[in-house]
Structure 1
Amino acid sequence: MPEPAARSPKAEQTRGAIVDSALRLFRSQGYDKTTMRSIASDAGVSLGNAYYYFGSKEHLIQAFYDQMQVAHAAAAADVLARESAFAPRLAGVLTSWLEVAEPNHEFAGQFFRNAADPASPLSPFSPESASARDASIELFRTLVDGSDVKLAPALRAELPELLWLAQMGIVLFWVYDASERQRRTRLLVERIVPMLDRLVRLSRLPVVRGVVDDLIGLLATLRKV
């Protein structure tokens, strides 16, 4: 697969057409029933050309992850530019993800059973997902750094990843949320944001600071294992 910097405009157009076809077929036929051959046919390219850009359906999902992160950042940009308080910024980022993800809810559950496998490249924790994961954590870093919340330096460094982990929990809830427009997930976000806001602000209190230091120490230890 050519590196992004080496792709010609025509190659980018072909690659984009393949991704668009894949997502359209995933939504209409389901992830498991969609084949690379059907994706190539829908995109108007040869099967060999489809495999040139994407080695498997899993690689196409990685491209979907990357597209989602770009769309999420764009959707959250307005609230991040407008708000300085931590809670509205967090609510805006989490809610904007739900808005961006909503059209993909039906087929997301179909490939989630593969993504839930720790060995799967579709896992949000896999090396293959690093690009999308890093982009999401960076969005949370922008959220934290531009907010009015006062934090100890060690927690400020770790909070973006902790918020990303919280979002992963929300995503799991969203995947299984069968309510209309996933209103239960929206309620979850509405209720959990004030809790997280209070926890973050309490972190500077001496009685809580020790627990925060223990948590940060645990994260550091786990990264070394």
Structure 2
Amino acid sequence: MSKAERTRARIRDAALASFVDRGYVDTTMRLIAAEAEVSVGNAYYYFPSKEHLVQELYIRVQHEHAALARPLLAAEKQLVDRLRVVFETGLRTVGPYRRVAPGFLGAMMPPDSPINPLSEASADARALTVALFREAVDGSEHRLPPSIAGILPDALFGVFLALLLRWTYDSGEGQRQTARLLDTGLRLFAVAQPFLRVPGIRGVATDLLTQIAEVRA
């Protein structure tokens, strides 16, 4: 690793550690530079803004999510069970950030926020999550109609964001309300699966999933 790469990694790691400890609002570029032992100008050279470092956080979390989910996916064949793996490991991966999640949520909610998960700036991190959902769908022994299977992973990303919103405000022990919501949604999907091959229902379901998948900031 070159000196420049080491410096960039040090700045990134300092930022990600601060996001966990202090949250989004209280993490500043000046603080990141101090903890990485570089000048503020040097920190800005590698990362033009704090928002660029949030994107680094998104990417790291998605890689951790995939690493946690894939061994568990290998043991499951049923679609609902595979989707449960992706949702539950996703929540487990963001667990260390739960205390500071409301601060991130406040910053990412405006449609024009560069850290909005639905923004163009977040496209790379979003693609990693969609790809994991696609693995879950494509690797199932249950074959969905092509019109459903093609759009479902993108729609599931939107569902996962909604679940994260509920998780952020679930102050109960073990976030049991979030777990119950996920379980109810998956059981409903399991009941609906056989009907997705019925032409009239398939068309409506495809339209609904497409509208969810196309939501962007």
Question: Does 2:108 correspond to 1:143?
Answer: no
Structure 2 CA distance, aligned partners of 1:30 and 1:69?
A: 18
TM-aligned CA deviation for residue 187 of structure 1: 2.4
**What is the aligned partner in structure 2 of residue 104 from structure 1?**
97
Question: Does 2:56 correspond to 1:77?
Answer: no
TM-aligned CA deviation for residue 59 of structure 1: 0.9
Select the residue among 110, 116, 121 that pairs with 2:109. Answer: 116
Q: Which has the higher contact order (CA 8 A, sep 6+)?
A: 2
- Count matched residues: 215
Deviations 1:157-207 (A, max 9, x none): 101111111111101111212223323222222222121233233211245
Give aligned-pair identity as a percent: 41
TM-aligned CA deviation for residue 216 of structure 1: 6.0
Contact 2:163 2:178 in 1 (8 A): yes
Moved more, 49-58 or 61-70: 49-58
Deviations 1:38-83 (A, max 9, x none): 1111111221221112111111111000001100000101121111
**What is the aligned partner in structure 2 of residue 5 from structure 1?**
none
SS, match of residue 25 in structure 2: coil
TM-aligned CA deviation for residue 91 of structure 1: 0.7
SS, match of residue 203 in structure 1: helix
| Correspondence list, 1:22-33, <5 A | 22-33=15-26
Q: TM-score, normalised by structure 1?
A: 0.87
Structure 2 CA distance, aligned partners of 1:216 and 1:89?
A: 19
Question: Does 2:155 correspond to 1:174?
Answer: no
Structure 2 gaps of 5+ residues are none
TM-aligned CA deviation for residue 212 of structure 1: 2.5
SS, match of residue 74 in structure 2: helix
Contact 1:150 1:201 in 2 (8 A): no
State the AA in 2 paired with 1:58. Answer: E
SS, match of residue 75 in structure 1: helix
Question: Does 2:136 correspond to 1:130?
Answer: no
TM-aligned CA deviation for residue 218 of structure 1: 5.3
Structure 1 gaps of 5+ residues are 1-7
